Amino acid sequence: MAEEVKEKEKEGVKPTTPEEAAKKAADVIIKQLEKEIGGKPIPDELREKHLGYRNIKHVRTFIEQRREYYAKLFLTQCKRDLKLEMMEKGIIPRPSKLTLGQIETKKAEVADYYTIDESTMMHLSKN
């Protein structure tokens, strides 16, 4: 009985080729991007341009060389480029910029962080 379970586990675990792993990683990146942009579909021409055969070939090469970190980094850069091009073409909206008042508030928060009164400084210096 235990032998049957082990045989089924061996059958279930199929070694993937670098090509399959690269395609699967690209699909994961596409799904992540679709989730980020609210479920909007990515146009096929942009998908092919940024995560097409040529770029998957690079990812496959990294995987073959056992450099998974570089493969992931490359895919992240492809995702970023795809997202930026979608913003340029108006498919997804650009993130809103901070207004002048928000920028000043942010600067004031940073200044407050660095301004420490004497009692706090004395307390910190004892530790």
Look at residue 12 in the predicted model and tell me its pLDDT.
44
Q: For the chain, give every domain's residue range.
A: 2-96
- Residue 73 pLDDT exceeds 70: yes
Look at residue 50 in the predicted model and tell me its pLDDT.
85
Enumerate residues 6+ apart whose C-beta is below 8 A from 118: none
Comparing 22 with 1, the larger pLDDT belongs to: 22
Look at residue 105 in the predicted model and tell me its pLDDT.
64
Q: Using CA atoms, how far apart are residues 23 and 56, in angstroms rounded to an integer?
A: 7
- Residue 108 pLDDT exceeds 60: no
Q: Using CA atoms, how far apart are residues 60 and 38, in angstroms rounded to an integer?
A: 29
Average pLDDT over residues 45-73: 89
- Residue 11 pLDDT exceeds 50: no
CA proximity to 23, closest of 54, 60, 72: 60
CA distance to 33, 109, 120, 126, per residue, from 123 (Å) = 47, 22, 5, 5
Average pLDDT over residues 60-74: 91
